Chains A and B, each alone.
Chain A
Amino acid sequence: MSFGALPDEKRGLVGVAFQSKSFALGFVLTGIFVLAGLISFVWTPYDATALAVADKLKSPSSLHWFGTDHFGRDIFSMIMVGARTSIAVAFVAVGIGIAAGVPLGLWAAARQASIVDEIIMRANDLVFAFPALLIAILITAVFGPSAINAIIAIGVFNIPVFARLARGAALTLWTREYILAARVAGKGAFRISGEHILPNIMNLLIVQGTIQFSLGILADAALSYVGLGAQPPTPSWGRMLADAQTMISLAPHMALFPGAAIVLTVLGLNLMGDGLRDLFDPKLRRSRS
């Protein structure tokens, strides 16, 4: 990955981004679910939490596009509301990872090979050593299951990812001559990190952020599958899958649609991440044109 690579000046980042097919496809896929989540605030075909036992386990039809579950809730509406929960959880969790991880990584790079660097990076190793799901279960076990705790749990395991990335990228930048020039101008490590380092590692962080976002969606689904995510009656994709498990032979659509939602969102985000990575690397960009 090249750090100095700038997108074409004239078209700007967005204009260039859509030249990549995988970015465009990923953007559309992700966009559909984000849009569904946003619309669910004002409109859903049915109330996603309203029970209608008479209509339970209906197959997809013109009335219920994705059918209904074992309580007669409309699956299409639940997926719309679930999109909002999943995306919100993953988004805030990535936000926590960036907000805490990037400054830590930049700090470690600025104090390279000092005790501060050692402490930050070894603490990161420690967090990394725990499986993400285990941390999540740990946190929810202590504080009780809720969407907020799922966010914190996923966010915590994002911190070392961003800290390592930021440190690694920053270390190579610290040897650049324009950083030396800034040091000669008397600028401190804090100011240099903000002014020179951060803008130049931004593209890396955006790519990693997109990928962590998709991992966050998966992690949220896993947590709510085991009952540690958003609590009923709030619909969530993971719990919809868990509910579908016992009904799989009776009503396969109950598993199909939330499963497809997870797969497509994660696929969309990964495609976007890949597309962005290619675009930021001028060598790859040329070979694809």
Chain B
Amino acid sequence: MTLLQIQNLDLSILGLKILSDVRFEVDRGEVVAVIGESGSGKSMTALAVMQLLPHGTDVNGSIRLDGEELLTKTEKQMCGVRGVDVGMVFQEPMTALNPVKTIGEQVAETVMIHTGASRAEALSVARETLSRVGLPEDRFPLTRYPHELSGGQRQRVVIAMAIALRPKLLIADEPTTALDVTTQAQIMALLKRLVDEDGMGLMLITHDLAVVADIADRIVIMKSGEVVEAGPAVQLFRSMQHPYSKALMAATSHHPVRKSPEVALHAVPVLEVRSVVREYALPRTSLFAKPGAFRAVDEVSLKIHKGENVGLVGESGCGKSTLTRAILALEGTQAGEIRVGGELVTTKAGASAAARRKMQVVFQDPYGSFNPRHKVRRLVTEPFYLMGREAPTGDALELRIAEALENVGLSSRDADKYIHEFSGGQRQRVAIARALITHPSLIILDEAVSALDVSIRAQILDLLADLSDRLDLSYLFISHDLSVVRAITDRVMVMKAGKIVETGETEAVFSNPQHEYTRQLLAATPDLEAALKRREIAAA
């Protein structure tokens, strides 16, 4: 008998169909990856298994765990299943833990509630479980609080809570999406090890094919609430049948077609950063000692020439965001200078309008980037404030709006819509239109495609490549995702602890990394093709 059997699962919320005829199985000791883009119903399927559905949900079909039907169980009976037979790991480790309780108490709590064990017994189970997930006693005593741990360590605690009672089935919903690549690789390895040790089934929900290529036994691809294709991992990857699966696969490793750049090495560089230092004061440790300082950006120098796309990669906390904010004159610097198109940014009075006009920015979050109360017309023309009296008016303004919107593949009619009428991908196009409208020479893309689904990401990358070819733009492309950086940039810089540790032609750096840290990053980056080859060799 298979462990989890989902059959003919239909689900609708307030009459809106979310899932239709979903069917797949998870066996003991098996990793089943459920893959789909946002809105495909993959998370809803997981919540249906846990019976944690929102109010007004109508479910039909059958979900059997170890032969027992879950859909007919009462809420009280389900409480005995959750945490005991089925454990769950969520995406965001920062909010999945209670900040005022120690990690030991939180893991022990699950044990006490379900087994009625005494506090001492529960704590010893907690200790053992935390050690199993790679948080050994000497460095991570039970008395640690969540804020004392990094994101990856917190996710280990969340996993410990989920597996403390050795459930038969573990559901992990995008467990590594919020983590850095190196941490992501470690968490994936941990999950795989736990599955092997405990013989539990793992239902791994993700939007990223490459992440699961190494560990998934079987793959289920979902789209619009339906399972479009399912099968053993390697076999499915090698012989995809459904057009959607193929499109998804293609989008994952999408490389936009780019003309070879014409770099103007002798012209004034678009961006020049010279030995910039940005320090933050640390809290005072004693009344008389001078408070220390944390160097977020440490003597960084870089140049971007006209027509060149440069990537800046590094993990969270490496200083890349601080550097971006300094370039955009959103934050002061302690030393060094920044010039944009020859204009000094780091003056006492802040950047001049002339300097600001030459650069624009696109942020990560397509939902937080716009004032919800304004129409697109007003949103995209915001940078015209920099032109003061020279800003176009009347017909000239309408032309500029239409030009910017059409450049990003929207229509001039969209100018009269509100931002909530657009999808995430369209919003990011509006953000790019806003960046283009003053005809800047440099656009800073701060994780601009990280929050998008893979197929939308591929479209936006195509758009960016096309724009840089047509409009003679330079990009500073900041990302933690190396595969995206590889696709769009000519040159790449690797940043670690406030310093740029390696820089060079993108292809050269990626194929022959010199610095140890770059090698680590590259090794941790999921690579679908390489993973499949490894597994085929292992199978042969």
Number of A-B pairs, beta carbon distance below 8 Å = 56
User: In the complex, are the beta carbons of A177 and B365 less than 8 A apart?
Assistant: yes
Is B372 in contact with A181, judged by CB distance below 8 angstroms? no
Scoring B residues 54 to 95 as 1 if CB is less than 8 Å from chain A, else 0, what string do you get? 010000000000000000000000000000000000000000
8 contacts between A and B (CB under 8 A): A9-B418, A177-B363, A180-B330, A180-B361, A181-B431, A185-B383, A187-B385, A200-B373
Residues of B within 8 A of A64 (CB): none
Closest to A202 in B: B373
Contacts of B373 in A (CB 8 A): 6, 199-200
CB distance from A63 to the nearest CB of B (A): 55
> A4's closest neighbor in chain B, by CB?
B372
* Residues in B neighbouring A181, C-beta threshold 8 A: 361, 363, 369, 382, 431, 434
Q: Report Cα–Cα, A74/B55, bound state, in Å.
A: 56
Contacts known (A178-B371, A200-B371, A200-B373); A185 close to B365, Cβ less than 8 A: no
A-facing mask of B424-448, CB < 8 A → 1, else 0? 0000000100100000000000000
CA distance A289 to B166 in the complex (A): 41
Whole-angstrom distance between the Cβ of B173 and the nearest chain A Cβ: 21
Provide the residues of chain A in CB contact with B372, threshold 8 Å.
4, 6, 200
CA distance A287 to B365 in the complex (A): 28
- Asked if A15 is at the interface (CB within 8 A of a chain B CB), the reply is no
Q: Are B356 and A180 in contact (CB under 8 A)?
A: no
Interface residue? A184 (CB, 8 A): yes
Interface size, B (range): 20 to 34
A11 CB within 8 Å of chain B = no
In the complex, what residue of chain A is closest to B365 when comparing beta carbons? A177
Decide if B368 is an interface residue (CB 8 Å cutoff): yes
Residue interface mask B294-328, A partner, CB < 8 A = 1: 00000000000000000000000000000000001
Q: Name A residues whose Cβ lies closer than 8 Å to a Cβ of B.
A: 4, 6, 9, 176-178, 180-187, 195-196, 199-200, 287
Which of B359, B368, B371, B372 has the most A CB atoms < 10 Å from its CB? B371
Are B330 and A178 within 8 A (Cβ)?
no
A206 to chain B, nearest CB (A): 14
| Given A185-B356, A186-B385, A200-B372, 10 further pairs, Cβ under 8 A | A6-B420, A9-B418, A176-B368, A177-B364, A178-B369, A181-B434, A183-B328, A184-B360, A185-B385, A196-B371
- Please, which residues of chain A bring their CB within 8 A of the CB of B353? 186
Chain A, Cβ-Cβ closest to B366: A177
B422 at the interface (CB under 8 A from A): no
A184 to chain B, nearest CB (A): 5
Is B344 part of the binding interface, using a Cβ–Cβ cutoff of 8 Å? no
Q: Which residue of A lies closest to B379 (CB)?
A: A178
Q: Are A185 and B330 in contact (CB under 8 A)?
A: no
Q: Is the interface of A mostly helix, strand, loop or mixed?
A: helix
Measured between C-beta atoms, what is the minimum distance from B383 to chain A in Å?
A: 5
A7 → chain B, closest Cβ, in Å? 11
B520 CB to closest chain A CB (Å) equals 30
User: Which residues of chain A are near B418, meaning CB under 8 Å?
Assistant: 9
Alpha-carbon distance between A200 and B368 when the two chains are bound, in angstroms: 13
| Residue of B328, B382, B418, B420 with most chain A CB atoms under a 10 A cut-off | B382
Report the Cα distance A28→B384, complex, angstroms. 47
A177 to B55, CA, bound (A): 32
**B371: min CB distance to chain A, Å:** 5
Interface centre among A4, A176, A177, A195 (most CB of B within 10 A): A177
Interface string of B336-371 (1 = CB under 8 A from A): 000000000000000101001001110111001111
Is B386 part of the binding interface, using a Cβ–Cβ cutoff of 8 Å? yes
Give the Cβ gap from A77 to chain B, nearest Cβ, in Å.
46
Tell me the complex Cα distance, A180–B55, Å.
37
- State whether A184 and B368 are in contact (beta carbons under 8 Å apart), knowing that A9-B418, A200-B373 are contacts in the complex: no
Rounded to whole angstroms, the CA-CA distance of A180 and B418 in the bound complex is 20
Q: In the assembled complex, how far is the CB of residue A283 from the closest CB belonging to chain B, in whole angstroms? A: 11
Please give, as numbers and ranges, the residues of chain A lying within 8 Å of B359 by CB-CB distance. Answer: 184
Please give the distance in Å from B291's CB to the nearest CB on chain A. Answer: 15
A187 CA / B381 CA spacing, docked (Å) = 13
Q: Once the chains are docked, how many angstroms separate the CA of A176 from the CA of B359?
A: 20
| B residues less than 8 Å from A4 (CB atoms) | 372
Query: Which among A6, A178, A187 is the interface contact of B370 at CB below 8 angstroms?
Result: A178
Given A6-B372, A200-B372, do A180 and B363 touch, yes or no (CB 8 Å)? yes
- A186 and B363 contact, CB distance less than 8 A: no
